[in-house]
Amino acid sequence: MTVAEIKQIIFNLPLDELIALDEEISEKIAATVMMKLAETGFSEWNDPEEDIYNDEPA
């Protein structure tokens, strides 16, 4: 199925279903963006210099 075919199906939905679909898609996009943003917040955990805080002896 092509994107054009999917669009055609979506645009033929009744208004209430279109609104519900829009809400679901918006939530999915927001969650994906937040997860991507969160990944950058923890990038320092991959820094080998941060291992000095481990309780285990080197």
* Residue range 20-36, pLDDT digits in tens: 999 999 999 999 999 98
Any domain includes 58? no
**26 inside domain:** yes
Contacts of 51 (CB under 8 A, 6+ apart): 58
| 19 located within any domain | yes
Residue 20 covered by a domain: yes
Model pTM?
0.62
The predicted-structure confidence for 1-57, as pLDDT tens digits, reads as follows 999 999 999 999 999 999 999 999 999 999 999 998 888 877 777 777 777 777 666
Q: For residue 28, give Cα distances in angstroms to 2, 13, 32.
A: 21, 20, 6
Instruction: Indicate the number of domains in the chain.
Output: 1
